[in-house]
Chain A
Amino acid sequence: MTEPVRNVRFSQAIGEAIAGEMEADDRVLLLGEDVGRSGGVFGVTRGLQERFGEQRVRDTPISEMAFTGMGVGLAMAGYRPIVEIMFVDFVGVCLEQVMNAMSKIPYMSGGNTRVPMVLRTAGGCIGSAAQHSQCLWGTFAHLPGMIVVCPSSPYDYKGLMAAAIQSDDPVIYIENKRQLNKMSNTHPVDAVVPEGRYTVPFGKAKVVRQGSDLTLVTISASVGDALRAARLLEPEGVSIEVIDLRTLVPLDTETVAASVAKTGRLLVVDEDFHSFGMSGEVVARVVEALGPQALRQVARHAMPDIPLPAARTLEEAAVPSEASIIEAVRKMK
């Protein structure tokens, strides 16, 4: 008889990481809207306030500028704050503290001041239209000074959160709302979440599927879509290698370039906006690493450069999905 496989929600995997780190290090604390009494709008922080008290799990007013800056001050004072911005779309009101304080102070101070802070937030599309569906990881990756983490598998959701909390660098950790309420066994790979503490290192992309005809690079929930698409395309005689970047900063160009050197074809799938973002960056890095002659074909499949519409028919036409990835691959044949 084998042990029954533990099946938890993605949200629970993050919560376990936070609880484990809070248990291990009393400098870790959590600030944000609805993180305490309600346990978070996606249930990530359920039970933490009861366990660690109101001071360490602090419900804040809707004052993102103040509580994000509070995180910066706490980090400078020696704490390890996790600040939750409920939806990444809300970062507009406090981007100042993210882009000018949290991410710049380590460098501006000549390394004399560390900001070991995690900004936890949720991206991804759940049918809530233009102001509640963005990903924006490309925006953060464009601004220097922060680690940008976008996990895809349940195993990574927990391990990368633990690594984020332990990091002495500022980290943006972007969860995907499409995944948070799902059970871990719905994910095609790395679906088992160990109960104990562990970390996953930054800057190590993972080849989640081996293939020989095409390198498909993506991140976050799109990794699951890409894996399912790759399996469905197998009977058509296309062998797809799927790479999960896991972190945008640092970006593991080496793993991607090694794969493209083998396949000669690159498709980047991105749930974030098409232009000036991850997809263009990955292509540029591969070209710089291998030279243009190494690529027989290149394509990008990303969110079009429009505010996401509300109507389901329009949304489906915009957001990369298993079906749209299949189409994108077929176009490359």
Chain B
Amino acid sequence: MTANKHALIDHFRMMLDMRHFEEACLEGVPTREIHGELHTGIGQEAVAAGLAPWLRREDALVSTHRNHLHALAKGVDREKLLAEIFERENGLCGGRGGHMHPFDPATRFSATGIVGSSIPVALGFAYGFKMEGVSDVAVAVIGDGATNTGAFHECLNMAAAWNLPLLVIVENNSYAISVRFSDVSATPTIAERAAAYRAWGRCVDGTDVEEVWKACGEAFDHVRGGGGPALLEASCFRFQGHYEGDHDTYRSRAERKRIRAEHDPLTLTEQRLLDAGAATQEELKRMREASRSETAALLATVRAAPMPDASGLHRYSFVGV
């Protein structure tokens, strides 16, 4: 049973939009409109959707190579984001960044394609917020793989030593490309490492949008309240390969099938809405269709936009260029 049916419907809509956004991206791969790697967050929507309501415009969010859903959660313009992913001149960064490097100063959203490197940048934002004495939060989103980098340790240590408003959200999908977290990590969970830094830490089921929402609420309360850094580990499942084209031989067909059947945050939320009597099958279907057709229209718009002209190759390399 859900405490707040309306909130759950809102979460559901957001997750639907996120799923359809990622599916729109998938359409750009065989056509080579997205001609490099593409990492989607299909299956991980509940983490971004549970986080979204807590984010204020002034908060900073630094994301990863798998960043689209966090951008949407932060309120980045969908059309500009999709246009950037589709390498268009009217994209967020004029097609210079592409899908791994979207930057949106208006919403204080940014990302990096290098695993672990989002945390130091978020630490800088956190340091600034602390100096200003504001209650804004710097959020670093990382995957489980990033928690075994030196930057993870360095940043949590510094954030705790200086009591900085840094929230590290780990999307633990159990795999760093093909390497299983449990095969290469000394601790069974990531959240328990928070204790080493005397930071706030906890685990949450990252497929349950309501649980994520609650856990994020606790984490934001802690960080905004001046309690220092927080480490929230959301366990989740990546449905696609690490990137589109990944043969995904490290997971058995049965495992992949089971993940989609049992851990789809959209299916789980739908069931919960039905069980609570918050929506009928028919209403859910209409929501799905509305979201799908909106995204299809968005994709058509983006596809009609021009590609960057080669004459602009050197533009933006330095101020005034």
**How far apart sit A145 and B105, CA to CA, in the bound complex (Å)?**
19
Q: Which residues of B contact A63 (CB under 8 A)?
A: 154-155, 157-158
Given A66-B119, A66-B120, A109-B93, 16 more pairs with CB closer than 8 A: A68-B120, A69-B155, A70-B124, A72-B121, A74-B127, A100-B112, A100-B113, A105-B103, A106-B319, A107-B317, A108-B93, A111-B315, A113-B105, A145-B318, A167-B319, A168-B319
A172 within 8 A of B: no
**How far apart sit A69 and B112, CA to CA, in the bound complex (Å)?**
11
Question: Chain B contact residues: over half helix, strand or loop, or mixed?
Answer: mixed
Q: Which of A56-113 contact B (CB under 8 A)?
A: 56, 60-61, 63, 65-79, 81, 93, 96-97, 100-101, 104-113
Q: Which residues of A contact B123 (CB under 8 A)?
A: 66, 69-70, 73
Q: Which residues of A contact B113 (CB under 8 A)?
A: 100
- Are B131 and A69 in contact, with the CB atoms below 8 A? no
Among B93, B131, B315, the residue within 8 A (CB) of A55 is: B131
B90-101 contact mask (Cβ, 8 Å, vs A): 1 or 0: 011111110001
Among A66, A110, A144, the residue within 8 A (CB) of B151 is: A66
A114 within 8 A of B: yes
Q: Which residues of B contact A145 (CB under 8 A)?
A: 317-318
Q: How many residues of B sit at the interface, in one of the four size bands? A: 35 or more
- Whether A110 contacts B114 in the complex (CB less than 8 A), given A61-B161, A68-B120, A169-B319, comes out as no
**What is the interface of chain B, defined by CB distance below 8 A to chain A?**
60, 62, 91-97, 101, 103-105, 108, 110, 112-114, 117, 119-128, 131, 138, 150-151, 154-155, 157-158, 161, 315-319
Rounded to whole Å, the gap between the CB of B52 and the closest CB of chain A is 21
- Are B316 and A73 in contact, with the CB atoms below 8 A? no
Rounded to whole Å, the gap between the CB of B305 and the closest CB of chain A is 14
17 contacts between A and B (CB under 8 A): A61-B157, A63-B157, A69-B124, A70-B124, A72-B124, A73-B122, A77-B124, A100-B113, A101-B117, A107-B316, A108-B103, A109-B93, A109-B96, A110-B103, A111-B316, A112-B104, A147-B318
- Are B117 and A97 in contact, with the CB atoms below 8 A? yes
- Are A73 and B128 in contact, with the CB atoms below 8 A? yes
**How far apart sit A105 and B101, CA to CA, in the bound complex (Å)?**
8
- Are A110 and B124 in contact, with the CB atoms below 8 A? no
- Whether A75 contacts B124 in the complex (CB less than 8 A), given A63-B154, A113-B103, comes out as yes
Can you list the 7 inter-chain pairs with the closest CB atoms, starting with the nearest? A73-B124, A69-B120, A110-B94, A66-B154, A109-B103, A110-B93, A63-B154
Rounded to whole Å, the gap between the CB of A203 and the closest CB of chain B is 10
**How far apart sit A67 and B123, CA to CA, in the bound complex (Å)?**
8
**How far apart sit A209 and B92, CA to CA, in the bound complex (Å)?**
49
Q: Which residues of A contact B125 (CB under 8 A)?
A: 73-74, 76-77
Q: Which residues of B contact A110 (CB under 8 A)?
A: 91-97, 103, 316
- Whether A67 contacts B94 in the complex (CB less than 8 A), given A100-B114, A109-B103, comes out as no
Q: Which residues of B contact A168 (CB under 8 A)?
A: 319
Q: Considering only CB atoms, which chain A residue lies closest to B161 in the complex? A: A61
- Whether A66 contacts B138 in the complex (CB less than 8 A), given A96-B114, A108-B103, comes out as no
Rounded to whole Å, the gap between the CB of B84 and the closest CB of chain A is 8
Q: Considering only CB atoms, which chain A residue lies closest to B312 in the complex? A: A110
Q: Considering only CB atoms, which chain A residue lies closest to B316 in the complex? A: A111
- Whether A77 contacts B150 in the complex (CB less than 8 A), given A61-B161, A108-B93, A110-B96, comes out as no
